[in-house]
Structure formats: C-alpha cells, structure tokens
Amino acid sequence: MKLQRRNGDIDALTMRGDELLLSTAQKFSADGVFAKDVDVFSFAPTSLVSTSQCAFGDDLFFDGSQFDLARRNLVAIDLSIG
C-alpha cells in the first residue's frame, strides 16, 4: 500500500465487524480510494505488523458531500443500533 496524503491524520474511527471505518482530517488517497474530511471509508486489515497489509473498500462508506457537509469536518462515527 502506498499512501499519498496531504494530511492522513485519523480524526474519526469505529469498527464494523472485521473492518475499520475511518475519516481523516484532510484529503486522503491510497490504493484507489479518494476521500475528503467529510467522508468515511473502510479499511480491512489482513496483517497488522510494521508493514501492514489491508484492503480498502471499493466505494466510500459515507459521502459527506451528499449531506451538504462540505464546510464541516467529521470528528466521530457512530453506528448505533436503533
């Protein structure tokens, strides 16, 4: 995995089964995933060592621009069961 980022600091994180759902503080790009600070993408680790292996989801889990969040930043992810 080659990480290309402006600022890949994680500012929101939750688990969903065996995958992590992440949001970063700025734009994020890796392995064909392009996300803004209002987006959530999935990350499924297959090996967590000094050179971790993973698989990113094909699509964004949550696209914040569809909810008019362009001038905001996600700082939490809650998958409450209703």
What average pLDDT score do residues 10-39 get? 85
Q: What pLDDT score does 64 carry?
A: 85
Question: How many angstroms separate the Cα of 40 from the Cα of each of 49, 51, 65?
Answer: 24, 23, 11
More confident residue, 11 or 80: 11
- Is it the case that residue 3 has pLDDT exceeding 60? no
Chain segment 28-50, per-residue pLDDT in tens: 888 788 888 889 998 887 776 76
Is residue 53 classed exposed, middle or buried when 0-12, 13-18 and 19+ CB atoms within 10 A define those classes? exposed
Q: Cα angle vertex 51, ends 46, 57, to 5°?
A: 40
**Which amino acid is present at 48?**
L
| Rounded Cα–Cα distance for residues 21 and 44 (Å) | 9
Break the chain into its structural domains and give their ranges.
Answer: 3-67
- Is it the case that residue 68 has pLDDT exceeding 70? yes
Q: pTM of the prediction?
A: 0.69
